Amino acid sequence: MYPIISDMRLYLVQHGHALTKDIDPGRSLSSEGLKEVQSMATHMYVMRVPVDKIYHSGKMRAHQTAETFAETLIVNDDVIAIDGIDPKDSVEAFAKKIANLKPNTMIVGHLPFMAKLVSLLVTGKEEPVLVAYRPASVVCLVQDEQKHWHIGWMLRPDCC
């Protein structure tokens, strides 16, 4: 029997390809990265994926990725930088905050954090990693009535 899925969906996104530090110390998105993010956002728009709020790390590449998704998916003024989702931050500490998020929330961050967060939410452990993120990838997690997380779907730029 399939679990009954609640309205809680969480979209976990790795930022798009970024410029190297020697080209741009702030590591903003490359032109390739921007195109990949725009492609993923357009695909989600066509699929009518609802996103009500977007959080991102304070890093430029995550901010630009979040803004691109927001523009395409028409997320009005709910794009917010948050602490605790940088590459080496504690996944367990952030996972405790997820219960307070609104349904249809997108979180834009970095590896290895995002991959470990998926694993922790789905299996209760950070390792082994369950999904193979690529820049601009989106993993949709859905929560059942018992508050267990399941992988609903994943989009990667190399698949669309």
CATH number, position 148: 3.40.50.1240
Counted domains in the chain: 1
Q: How far is CA 62 from CA 12, 29, 143, in A?
A: 12, 8, 25
pTM of the model: 0.91
What is the residue whose two structure tokens read 């969480």?
A: 10
Cα separation, 99 vs 118, in Å, equals 15
* Residue numbers of the domain that contains 63: 5-131+139-159
The pLDDT assigned to 3 comes to 52
For the segment 80-135, what is each residue's pLDDT rounded down to a tens digit? 999 999 999 999 999 999 988 888 999 999 999 999 999 999 999 999 999 999 99
What is the residue whose two structure tokens read 């803004």?
A: 67
